[in-house]
Structure 1
Amino acid sequence: MTLFAAEPRRRSRSRTVGWAFVIGAVVLGLLASLLPSPYLIEVPGPVYNTIGTQEQGSGKDAKAVKLIQIEGHETYPTAGALDMLTVGIQGDATNRPAWTSVIRALFTKSQAVIPASAIYPEGVSTDQVNQQDEADMQSSQQSAVAAALIQQGYRLPTDLEVGTVQKGSAAEGVIEKGDVIRSFDGTALTTNADATSLRELVAKHGTSTPAKVVVERDGAQETVEVTPRSEQGTALIGVGVTERYDFPFTVSIKLQDVGGPSAGMMFALGIIDEITPGKLNGGKHVAGTGTITADGEVGAIGGIRQKMYGAKDAGATVFLAPADNCDEVVGHVPAGLDVYKVSTLDQAVTDLQTIGSGKSTAKLARCTS
């Protein structure tokens, strides 16, 4: 009798230990779900029509403000939309999403989970990131205006203003922040592609002899000598320059509370639509994204999956994507959205003209696997 009674008692203890593990695991899981994760979540953000308006102000002071405002040049009626997209970020440098939100995002097509360090590196605050985003937006808007006007045949005089002088570089103590570089080795730098030309001129000069650089400082020009130094096999003088354009008429972009450089291409298309007869998009609802350089090169951006879903939700049927983002586009296009890949502003304009005219789009480039 005693021998038979011992076995059930062993089973009873096993059940007790097993339930303890289950309850413990559940409690730990609940606690973990409330703990912040080391991740951020990207979600579709607000959408803005570059040829439309944005509600600005609050309460009685709220009003619809036209995003692209042009003075000194004739403008023409537009129709449809040329939407620029944004990405919302859940979390910031100090506040992170809970694990439950992260797990949910992993199974949501319109969301993405990214390491917090991708946006907020160690030691960088939310305010610092926001300030950089604002600076990037301002720079991209100037590039968009320049790209649009150059695409339309304007030749823009350009100042190359020194924004940074690298510590320990050849230029330190010779060239100063705020200087305007007028020429290098006798070659004037006054056209819309001279940031690239300056690098090419420095590389061509080499590192064996001093180069003569004419700078404008405090309204006066002076000639200085700088001997480029080799950095990873490339001759450099160690300055960062910003292109400052002299536009033939005034183009103001009035977008508020949005940062980053990824709206450049869509603003350039919006400007072109405003200053040329006809409707560039044929009145269709088009969305897109991509950085832009003054010479019209379209660059990759982040969060393109979220932007495609944001475009779809806003009613767009056509989406222009940077060619360099195609690997993230393939397999993730929302139903009902036609996506075309572009690498230059010229190509984007041609694509829109084809799409807007109702002609066959079979020959337009698309992202493929």
Structure 2
Amino acid sequence: MPRRTATMLASTLMLIALLCAGVLIKVPYAEMSPGPTVNTLGEHDGEPVLQISGHKTYAADGHLNMTTVRVTSADYRMNLVEAVYGWLAHDTRVVPHDTLYPNGKTEEQSTQENAEEFSQSQESAKVAALKELDIPVQSWVIVSTVVKGSPSEGKLHAGDVIRKVDGTKVEQPSDVAKLVTRHAPGQDVVFTIVPAEEQAAAEKEHRTATATRDVTITTTTSDDGGAKRAIVGISAGTDHTFPFTIDIKLADVGGPSAGLMFALGIYDKLTPGSLTGGTFVAGTGTIDDDGKVGPIGGVEMKTVGAHDKGAKYFLTPADNCAAAAKDKPDGLTLVRVSTISDALGALKEIRDGNTADLPLCTVKG
């Protein structure tokens, strides 16, 4: 066999062997890529994303699109070829598997956590939008979860309204932990609650729940690796009663990052005129009850997804600005926002054509 032919054959066989090895070798990485983007002012799967009843609404045009990121599942293991391709591709990002699924988190656990965060983001979006419109919203501190096997199991239940702890009025979820940790482990703490079923009945009948009862729980010692302290095995959160019905219909989406865009969509539906002036605006960002916008993950993938869908402006959490600006898609303007008020101000500039005054993202933030 001629030397040249033998060399080519050996090289070909070596390349095949390397490719086979690359396919077989699993690496501890996961992949992120642009996910679907949905107009909060429009429809999804044949029904309006935002459905409001019991209050006057107005027609809205343009786009206020929430954006998403696709990620490989927790039990999927990339091979070396896929990882290299992902590193080289512009519209994907390869990250350590533990970044997306820390501490061995399973797919089921991740899905449940994302669903809970998504539900909470919807509630906060409603509150933030209504507060911006000076529409009163009633709020209560509630039991969000009860840890199985904890002293509270069977005594407190998810949805119970916490009025007092040891006779002290509770106004914020953080108040609960502060009052409980005043005790030494093993001491009793008294919760004054409105049972979840009583609260639900009161809301249905549009009245204030008044039937309370005291529940005594013996504290135990924390075992989370931090400083030892008294705990009762619950997490506290906030629940709200709205003066009219706001439903957000969007399946197969998780996480808290659509909060800002939901809040803006609700605001637009409840006010005359158009927030966007017909412009295609997309964005992302968590939002709390007071309208503060927080950072999210995968912002680079979200800007790519928004640009590919046709967005001209992208509302970007201030803490994500630097990362987003490093690899900004051509033709997409990144607008820095820290609150819902910032976002509303930016939308006014956009619809009025005063884009030179917009606060833009830079690589410095």
TM range (shorter): 0.7 to 0.9
TM-score by length of 2: 0.81
Deviation at 1:123, TM superposition (A): 4.7
Label 1:232 to 1:151 Cα distance change in 2 as closer, same or farther (>3 A): farther
The amino acid of 2:68's aligned partner reads T
67-76 vs 208-217, greater mean Cα deviation = 208-217
TM-score by length of 1: 0.80
Rounded Cα–Cα distance in structure 2 between residues aligned with 1:287 and 1:70: 22
Q: Deviations over 1:162-203 (max 9, x none)?
A: 12345898x64796233320124555446xxx324555x639
What does residue 107 of structure 1 align with? 88
| Residues 4-83 of structure 1: pairs in structure 2 closer than 5 A | 25-35=14-24, 36-54=26-44, 56=45, 64-83=46-65
Rounded Cα–Cα distance in structure 2 between residues aligned with 1:122 and 1:353: 44
Rounded Cα–Cα distance in structure 2 between residues aligned with 1:298 and 1:365: 16
What does residue 128 of structure 2 align with? 147
Q: Does 2:242 align with 1:247?
A: yes
Q: Deviations over 1:50-76 (max 9, x none)?
A: 00111x2xxxxxxx2110000011111
Q: Deviations over 1:32-86 (max 9, x none)?
A: 22224322221111110000111x2xxxxxxx21100000111111111000111
What does residue 358 of structure 1 align with? 353
Q: Does 2:321 align with 1:348?
A: no
The amino acid of 2:289's aligned partner reads A
Label 1:232 to 1:323 Cα distance change in 2 as closer, same or farther (>3 A): farther
Q: Does 2:196 align with 1:215?
A: no
The amino acid of 2:108's aligned partner reads D
Where does the alignment leave 5 or more consecutive residues of structure 1 unmatched? 1-11, 57-63
Provide the secondary structure at the position in 1 that maps to 2:131: helix
Rounded Cα–Cα distance in structure 2 between residues aligned with 1:268 and 1:22: 59
The amino acid of 1:284's aligned partner reads T
Rounded Cα–Cα distance in structure 2 between residues aligned with 1:50 and 1:120: 29
Selected match of 2:140 from 138, 148, 159: 159
Percent of aligned positions with the same letter in both sequences? 36
Selected match of 1:176 from 132, 156, 174: 156
Rounded Cα–Cα distance in structure 1 between residues aligned with 2:262 and 2:110: 23
Checking the alignment, whether the CA contact within 8 Å between 1:165 and 1:175 is kept in structure 2 is no
Selected match of 2:281 from 270, 277, 286: 286
What does residue 298 of structure 2 align with? 303
Checking the alignment, whether the CA contact within 8 Å between 2:147 and 2:153 is kept in structure 1 is no
The amino acid of 2:290's aligned partner reads D
The amino acid of 1:53's aligned partner reads E
Deviation at 1:27, TM superposition (A): 4.0
Checking the alignment, whether the CA contact within 8 Å between 2:19 and 2:81 is kept in structure 1 is no
Deviation at 1:366, TM superposition (A): 2.8
Deviation at 1:325, TM superposition (A): 1.4
Checking the alignment, whether the CA contact within 8 Å between 2:291 and 2:340 is kept in structure 1 is yes
The amino acid of 1:242's aligned partner reads G
Deviation at 1:284, TM superposition (A): 1.1
Rg (Cα) greater in structure: 1
The amino acid of 2:309's aligned partner reads A
Label 1:258 to 1:360 Cα distance change in 2 as closer, same or farther (>3 A): closer
Label 1:315 to 1:363 Cα distance change in 2 as closer, same or farther (>3 A): closer
Checking the alignment, whether the CA contact within 8 Å between 1:92 and 1:120 is kept in structure 2 is no
